Amino acid sequence: MLASLGITSTILWCKLMGHTSGFFVPIAGLESWANARAFWLMGILICALVCCLLPKATRKMDVAQRYVIPCIAVAGAMSFALAFHQYYFDQRLLAVAGIVVSGFGYFWFISRFALLLAVTQGIPCLAWSFAAAFPLRHLLLIAMDAAIPVNWQVMVAIALPLASFAAFEAACAVARKRAQSHADEQGCPSDEARTLFGVPTLPKAPFESKLDERYLTVSVLAIALMLSVVRACSISGMWGGDHTAGLSFADALVSVASMVVAIGLLVYLAVIRVHRYPVTMRFQVGILLVLAGLVVAAVKPWLAPFIHPSILDLIVSTNDPLALVLFWSAVCMAVVSFSAPANRVIGVAGAVYAAASIAWVDIINKVNALDSAMILVAVYLLFAVFMLATWFARHKRLSFEGERVTDKAPLSVAGDHFDSREGDGQEGLVDDEEADASAVLVQALMVRCDELAEECGLSPREKDVLVLLAQGKTGTAIQDELTLAASTVKTHMQHIYAKTGVGDRQQLMDAVLGKRDS
């Protein structure tokens, strides 16, 4: 809830700066150079490149950034708002500097919330938090238009980075407190777990095969490009348009309620329901729904005589939130699966989105995206890329699905497969098909461990230990793998044995493999 409030503050800040009349003066002042959104996107691009090129330094400076960047973001929003109301500095240069700094702060905030939720709570929590933020933002916009003068809306926009900062710190504090309480109940020290912002993280989710890793990479890049198209075709595509239409209170409630139902249903179908699906099938529904929304936006004038305008508006308005939720879900799935630093993964995806969006701003300045064939071309190109990747992944998987897996296949973490075939006389990496077959075996084992952990009420850390025990790891190897003390590992093993009702490791393996007597 706290993270969702922080996300609401962040996206409301962006919406006010681009679409409330209090900022129309600086937006108009920059028109001779470019639409103000292009400079905002430049700030996002700079932040993404910093994360991509300096991931470790960015991680080390997280504590300092959490206090410095909100203040810089406030200064940027203030500089943009007041640039054309002062004469000490060049007005346009001050406005550009302010909007670029604000865009930098926006991406930093939104990526920190996404990272916090995905790594410590899980992708479903991330998806619901983002989904809840959009109807709340819409409600706040309507309330502000009805009750707050334009000048005060500018002041609210300037102060919103501080609200995001407060929500982020509160969310981290609550999560740390809950983690400490859970550790006390389990009788193990909480400082031995891996943490992010002081909050214990969930275990990594390894891929079944390298093919899945390649597929997810293509999916993240395709979804980033798709998000840029969606944003270009919405009111966010160009800054300077008003954000509300003066709805009455009753109409506002109906609008918000409709948005809640529509976004909730779409996010459930596109992210939550498919969360446990194989990687090659996980984003198909979401991408097809977003592409369908883009087609509706492109042919909306022709559909108006047949479909009520409010329904068409709802489809178009919910496509933007769905695309954003899908984007961050895919990015954060890559974060929890790839071995690359989290900041680098986020940086690459953000840079692709920002660069493509800047190109779209230039295109829209010359032709209307919705009135041109470009939107449909982009839709079909994205569809073709995604379906081609899906076909390739499924075809490759079918090629080794029938392979016979012998007891010589090692149970190790995916990516560390070594050849142990008799008669070779040497060790080396096995070919891709054997590695994939072994990885499938490992994944099946992990799935069974997840099921057993849920059935027996194991804690996340106990589940980590269970997975390694099932893979045949010794107590010393588990200590090294999870960076835990010997006494802590022993305590976790005792808890696992007690909760699963077994007396030794052999009985535990029988329970994992489903051979335990009922």
Task: Provide the pLDDT for residue 30.
Answer: 92
- Amino acid 422: pLDDT: 37
> Is the model's pLDDT at 47 over the cut of 90?
yes
Nearest 5°: phi and psi at 328?
Answer: -70, -30
Mean pLDDT of the chain, nearest integer: 80
Surface-to-core class of residue 406, CB atoms within 10 Å of its CB (0-12 exposed, 13-18 middle, 19+ buried): exposed
SS3 84: helix
- Of the ranges 2-16, 309-323, 471-485, the best mean pLDDT one: 2-16
Whole-angstrom CA distances from 356 to 225, 338, 344, 495 are 6, 24, 18, 51
Tell whether the model's pLDDT for residue 305 goes beyond 90.
no
Encode pLDDT of 306-347 as tens digits: 888 888 888 888 989 999 999 999 999 999 888 888 999 999
Fill in the amino acid letter for 504: D
Question: Angle at which helices 2-19 and 150-186 pack, to 10 degrees?
Answer: 160
Question: What CA–CA distance (Å, rounded) separates 450 from 360?
Answer: 44
pLDDT tens, residue by residue, 398-426: 554 444 333 333 333 333 333 333 333 33
Per-residue buried b or exposed e for 304-330, using 16+ beta carbons within 10 Å of the residue's own CB:
eeeeeeeebebbbbbbbbbbbbbbbbb
pLDDT in tens, 102-134: 999 999 999 999 999 988 888 899 999 999 999
The Cα angle at residue 40 between residues 368 and 237, in degrees rounded to 5: 20
Percentage of residues in the chain having pLDDT higher than 70: 79
Tens of pLDDT, residues 256-281: 888 899 999 999 999 998 887 777 77
- Per-residue confidence (pLDDT) for residue 3, from 0 to 100: 94
pTM for the whole structure: 0.74
The residues near 469 (Cβ < 8 Å, ≥ 6 apart) are: 478, 493, 496, 505, 508
Quote the crossing angle between the two packed helices 486-500 and 505-512, to the nearest 10°: 60
Average pLDDT for 279-300 = 82
Six-digit token pair at 408? Answer: 């010589």
Over range 26-34, report the average pLDDT. 90
**What is the per-residue pLDDT for 113?**
95
The predicted pLDDT at position 397 comes to 54
Q: Is the pLDDT of residue 72 over 90?
A: yes
Decide if pLDDT at 485 tops 90.
no
Given a cut of 80, whether residue 229 has pLDDT beyond it is yes
129-167 tens-digit pLDDT: 999 999 999 889 888 888 888 889 999 999 999 999 999
d(CA 148, CA 157): 12
pLDDT, residue 163, reads 95
Q: Which H/E stretch holds residue 350?
A: helix 342-366
Please give the angle made by the CA atoms of 316, 321 and 323, to the nearest 5 degrees: 90
pLDDT at 244 over 90: no
Rg (CA), the chain: 25
In sequence order, the 6+-apart residues with CB closer than 8 A to the CB of 446 are 206, 467
In the predicted model, is pLDDT for residue 444 greater than 80?
Answer: no
What digits encode the pLDDT tens for the residues 339-391? 888 999 999 999 999 999 998 887 776 655 555 545 656 666 666 666 666 66
CA distances from 95 to 20, 78, 184 (A): 16, 9, 51
